[in-house]
Amino acid sequence: MLEVWWHLSTRYVSGLRDGLRVLIAPQREREFSVLVEKAKIVEDGKRAECQNRDRERSKYKRDSKPSSFVQRPKKKARFDGPVRVGAPATLAGLQPCSDCGRRHPSEC
């Protein structure tokens, strides 16, 4: 029966991911239930380490939400220049052509 447990333990350790196997295999523990418990502890530690690393990264990262159209600065209209009312002065002095109907300074 001891040989069966040893074989089961060996297969369990060889099936672990490399990161876990490196931490558990040097302990040379061959009792299956102890191996499973140690693997759980190591996995929990790795998970907590990743969560802490992600939390630290998010502190220094800018908010990655897409900026909306409302938040962007809008162009302001210029009110400092003269305001045009009516037709431009150049067109006002020209009479429509009797041949083509367009306004131009010389004959068609």
- Give pairs for 75-79: CB < 8 Å, separation 24+: none
Domain ranges for the chain, please list them. 2-59
- Sorting pLDDT into bands at 50, 70 and 90, what band is 98? confident
Q: 103 is written with which tokens?
A: 């306004």
Residue in 29, 24, 15, 14 with CA at minimum distance from that of residue 45: 24
Q: 41 is written with which tokens?
A: 């502890």
Instruction: Report whether pLDDT(103) > 80.
Output: yes
pTM: predicted TM-score of the whole model, two decimal places: 0.37
The pLDDT tens digits of the residues spanning 27-47 come to: 666 677 777 888 888 888 888
